[in-house]
Amino acid sequence: MKIVIGADHAGFALKETIAAELRAAGYEVVDVGAHEYIATDDYPDSAEAVARAVVAGAGEKGILVCGSGVGASIAANKIKGARACLCHDIYSAVQGVEHDDMNILCLGGQIVGPALARQLVKGFLGAKFDTAERFQRRLDKVLALEN
């Protein structure tokens, strides 16, 4: 599976850790930046890069890290086709995919440590959208809101 990953300065260290672990686990990682720590960068730039790459099909899912995860989630969801959610618990990381077809996991680099991030990413990447009628109906309504 190909995963798009990105972060601003506040999420940079956690992004680097996650990317290395994904590569070691055999995932193909598309790192859209930041590629170095730049204290003055802005989360909307990394959010846009991840969201556009996921929507364009450069990866099946995306992982986005900023300080809290909130700003990145807000910005990524401005891109049509992005369903980015902030998750700091396992249930949400899995159920967000299963019930809502979440395609971008947002994490707070100043909130979540590497051990929890590892579990969140594992749950997110392992989950599949449940195509039961009620979940598809709800997703269709969400998609209609974009239009």
Q: Specify the amino acid at residue 42.
A: D
**Burial tier of 124 (Cβ tally within 10 Å: 0-12, 13-18, 19+):** buried
* Mean pLDDT to the nearest integer, 32-58: 97
- Rounded to whole angstroms, the Cα distance separating 4 from 100 reads 19
The whole-model pTM stands at 0.97
Residue 1: Cβ within 10 Å count: 12
Ordered domains of the chain (ranges, CATH)? 2-146 (3.40.1400.10)
Q: Give the pLDDT confidence of 129-138 residue by residue, as tens digits.
A: 999 999 999 9
> What H or E segment, with its residue span, contains residue 79?
none
Per-residue pLDDT at 61: 98
User: Strand, helix or coil at 143?
Assistant: helix
Active site residue 66: yes
What is the per-residue pLDDT across 47-69, written as a single tens digit (0 to 9) for each? 999 999 999 999 999 999 999 99
Query: Region 107-116: what's the mean pLDDT?
Result: 97
pLDDT confidence bin for 147, thresholds 50/70/90? confident
**Which one of 9, 66, 85, 87 is the catalytic residue?**
66
| Known catalytic membership, residue 99 | yes
Tokens of 26: 């055999």
Query: Of 35, 85, 88, 99, which is the active-site residue?
Result: 99
